[in-house]
Amino acid sequence: MGKVVRYEESFITSIPSDKFFRAYVLDGDNLLLKSLPHEISTIEIIRGDGGPGSIKLLTATPGSKFFKTMKKRVEEVDGEKRVYRFSVIEGGDLEDGIEKITNRLKMEGGSVVRAATEYHIKEGGDVGDQGKKTVERMKGILKAVEKHLHANPHLLYL
């Protein structure tokens, strides 16, 4: 049996957490495509309706630093608690020694985003410095989304 390695980070955003949740999670596919066009070219729902249990295929823009393709499964969307959880199940940062990567975002208080990433590592596998890189990438994604929302305030569902 393998092990689970967890990384946590908190981010402060200038966007109120309820509005950030609605924009980032409920309209996240469109928002990511508009916020990161140099990294992500398509997001396709290949199973489900976008809610829990759905599988999404993300395809990178040529030259992306992120990944070539990535499949993620939506695990949880809780609008009341403002929690979004998904697992990378194929592609992305998955390597031979990693079974899956689970990401959890919780928007709290006025403008705090708490991010946790769990690496489910196979027996004999190792995460190396990948966890720290994932946290840095998440910071970059959240900052790009925040910048896009400020430039397009109508997306905040005021």
Tell me if 109 is assigned to some domain: yes
Distances (CA, A) of 122 to 73, 126, 127, 150: 19, 8, 10, 41
Find all residues with CB under 8 Å of 79, minimum gap 6, and list them: 21, 22, 25, 26
Domain of residue 19, CATH code: 3.30.530.20
Question: What are the structure tokens assigned to 51, written together?
Answer: 């809610």
Tell me if 33 is assigned to some domain: yes
Tell me if 158 is assigned to some domain: no
Tell me if 74 is assigned to some domain: yes
Tell me if 31 is assigned to some domain: yes
Q: pLDDT band for position 140 (50/70/90)? A: confident
Q: CA 65, 135, 94, 33 torsion: positive or negative?
A: negative
36-90 pLDDT, tens digit each? 888 899 999 999 999 999 999 999 899 887 788 889 999 999 999 999 999 999 8
Decide if pLDDT at 158 tops 50: no
Which phi and psi (to 5°) does residue 97 adopt? -90, 0
User: Whole-model pTM?
Assistant: 0.86
The total number of structural domains that make up the chain: 1
